[in-house]
Chain A
């Protein structure tokens, strides 16, 4: 009896997935995708699955698996989800295909700025952008009569006032967890000072006045932050916001929706989204995109099917059903209140994350080396010199520097 019920339930479930609800095409080619596992990818791959014969792997460790899986012939996944930096190893290995013909044939719905071009060829289709931008408690700033801070100096001045008023535990939050997060904070600040990371011949170029200025701002921030900042990642900062412990933070746009999540947040409707504060030259933020790549090692027929299914995944129907899940680059997206921060950051001229092979190394050595400065073990110049030395060792080993 029980088995029968189970079988019946299974049959119902099977038939419902085979119903091709909301997909204009019926896919007959077996397809698989491998991407990161956040909400936007979940929404897109669910929409793609409606076309049938499609299986999505949402995997936080995707970046370790993708290079090998795409280098296999035939590739183990036809569709990949990447961002600025994670596209580099696939691009270097030549394991993703140019998409110009497919875009011409099936890409009527795409807007020109979704096409990621490398050397004139379309290599990826972006679907959303993400950036760190300022989120702040509008109620607290209004109470204390502080205008929306537009530069880091103003943020620090505001933090000082909030600290004096004692309305929250810590005026500032920051994703300063040692490793990738801390590296990204420096990348943002340094871009805000107008710096470049890598010079001629892949030599490091961060030990300069701009680097020192970026470090000094970061150090000044820590005075207003939870003293355990070196272990706080994006989720931790998000929770500090939700629990009303902090008043301002430069946090990822993809975390904005969580501020108004009534199930988790105690500050619903009180968190305002603003552009990333400016450094002395530009917004202290870097723009990231997420999007599709398609394997080189598959048949053209598979490629056509894969491309069409992907287009179905990012159609207007998916966008309208998941409007607030991300800052979409897609037709049919109406930027809401939550996207205002990311949009303003881009409008103010934030640069894209300067992804490249050498930059991958730079980001890692920054993430590992900056803590010594923040804890006071080294001064700014020594820290930057040591980071450059660590970069040289790793870049030489990787063959990027002679």
Chain B
């Protein structure tokens, strides 16, 4: 292809990537090193608020932001280096907790608490998604031609449901005396509160994520199954290979590039776990890194928000994903080199 044609094809996409991904990323990166604050004056203010019959008036010293002549709040922006990263990581506290051997104290620091959950969520759901996906794909593949369409449709359904809605419905099935909790209570003959402690919520979240994502893996694997060399399979059958041996020695090696692909997508997606936290309103017990960023960003009632810490936390999340992807990327790179 001529370079000009190539450029014309790729140009718009590169432009969009720069505009909507690269520039915001650079901006977030930059903001994580700066802090923007209003300039406050201390002023004695008398405030009166209503009671039922009389008013309550109090005079107190308040911090009131200084305004310029146009009525806008004057702000100043300072370079603070890695201060925001230090504020998010709280390394000093983390080190004290670890050196005193207290895992509980370590886990009471937001970032490390979020990292612990995010990592375990990602790494536990990964093999489950791949196994479930492969299982569904093999099931679809061995289903009779006449029912294959409906089977594909039904197994894709969980993937179509909007994540927050899906999480909420599972929440409602188990919350309080939700029907599934009630069923469990009836079966086990004991009182169960699924949302009263962290580990049950975590199990529900992981279950939900696997249920939600496995169909995507399944459909990719199903496509891969169509390209398995039928001759090798037939010779394997003649040689007396069992179903399991065929899966292990022929199908899985054939699907390996797809498994790596699904793993990468899944690592990237689940490291940014967020919908589950919101859907299960689990903030009291479990938080994730993405939720932490969001929480820094949401203004409180008085309008304060922590943009710098949010930026730092977003950058840390990105670094985390990059680190997780390294082994898989190295593998793909080696295969790629070998292929030439």
B19 to chain A, nearest CB (A): 23
B283 at the interface (CB under 8 A from A): yes
Interface-centre pick from B51, B57, B84, B302 (highest chain A CB count, 10 A): B302
Contact call B281/A178, Cβ cutoff below 8 A:
yes
A99 to chain B, nearest CB (A): 13
Q: Which chain A residue lies CB-closest to B192?
A: A227
Interface-forming stretch among B33-41, B139-147, B157-165, B331-339? B33-41
Interface-centre pick from B46, B55, B110, B280 (highest chain A CB count, 10 A): B55
Assess A231 versus B284: contact at CB under 8 Å? Given A88-B302, A372-B108, A398-B304. Answer: yes
A199 to chain B, nearest CB (A): 11
B156 to chain A, nearest CB (A): 31
CB neighbours (8 Å) of B301 from chain A are: 63, 85-86, 88, 180, 355, 360, 363
Interface-forming stretch among B58-66, B116-124, B182-190, B219-227? B58-66
- Which of B73, B280, B285, B306 contacts A92 (CB under 8 A)? B73
Contact call B302/A360, Cβ cutoff below 8 A:
yes
**B42-73 contact mask (Cβ, 8 Å, vs A): 1 or 0:** 01011111111111110000111101000111
Contact call A361/B304, Cβ cutoff below 8 A:
yes
CB neighbours (8 Å) of B101 from chain A are: none
Contact call A113/B64, Cβ cutoff below 8 A:
no
B256 to chain A, nearest CB (A): 42
CB neighbours (8 Å) of A67 from chain B are: 303
Assess A89 versus B302: contact at CB under 8 Å? Given A178-B283, A231-B281, A372-B108. Answer: yes
CB neighbours (8 Å) of B216 from chain A are: none
A372 to B286, CA, bound (A): 11
CB neighbours (8 Å) of A112 from chain B are: 55
A384 at the interface (CB under 8 A from B): no
**B299-311 contact mask (Cβ, 8 Å, vs A): 1 or 0:** 1111110101100
A120 at the interface (CB under 8 A from B): yes
A112 to B198, CA, bound (A): 50
Contact call A397/B302, Cβ cutoff below 8 A:
no
B320 at the interface (CB under 8 A from A): no
A399 to chain B, nearest CB (A): 3
Contact call B283/A113, Cβ cutoff below 8 A:
no
A202 to B43, CA, bound (A): 12
How many residues of A sit at the interface, in one of the four size bands?
35 or more
B295 at the interface (CB under 8 A from A): yes
- Which of B35, B43, B47, B299 contacts A397 (CB under 8 A)? B35
A125 to chain B, nearest CB (A): 10
A296 at the interface (CB under 8 A from B): yes
A128 to chain B, nearest CB (A): 9
- Which of B38, B48, B63, B67 contacts A202 (CB under 8 A)? B63
Interface-centre pick from A347, A361, A397 (highest chain B CB count, 10 A): A397
Q: Which chain A residue lies CB-closest to B65?
A: A92
B196 at the interface (CB under 8 A from A): yes
A95 to B50, CA, bound (A): 22
- Which of B50, B281, B285 contacts A129 (CB under 8 A)? B50
CB neighbours (8 Å) of A86 from chain B are: 301
Q: Which chain A residue lies CB-closest to B107?
A: A377
A296 to B70, CA, bound (A): 12
Contact call B302/A113, Cβ cutoff below 8 A:
no
Assess A364 versus B300: contact at CB under 8 Å? Given A94-B71, A227-B196. Answer: yes
Q: Which chain B residue lies CB-closest to A370?
A: B284
A131 to chain B, nearest CB (A): 10
CB neighbours (8 Å) of A179 from chain B are: 283
Contact call B50/A116, Cβ cutoff below 8 A:
yes
CB neighbours (8 Å) of A375 from chain B are: 197-198, 284-285
CB neighbours (8 Å) of A394 from chain B are: 304, 306
B115 to chain A, nearest CB (A): 16
- Which of B45, B73, B284, B308 contacts A119 (CB under 8 A)? B45
Contact call A352/B71, Cβ cutoff below 8 A:
no
CB-defined A-B contacts under 8 Å, sample of 7 = A129-B50, A178-B281, A352-B49, A352-B56, A378-B104, A386-B108, A397-B37
**Interface on B for A, CB 8 Å cutoff?**
35, 37-40, 43, 45-57, 62-65, 67, 71-73, 84, 87, 104, 107-108, 110, 175-176, 193-198, 280-285, 295, 299-304, 306, 308-309
**Interface on A for B, CB 8 Å cutoff?**
63-64, 67, 71, 84-86, 88-89, 92-95, 112-120, 126, 129, 177-180, 182, 202, 226-228, 230-231, 236, 287, 289, 296-297, 329, 343, 346-347, 351-352, 355-361, 363-364, 368, 371-372, 374-375, 377-378, 386, 393-394, 397-400
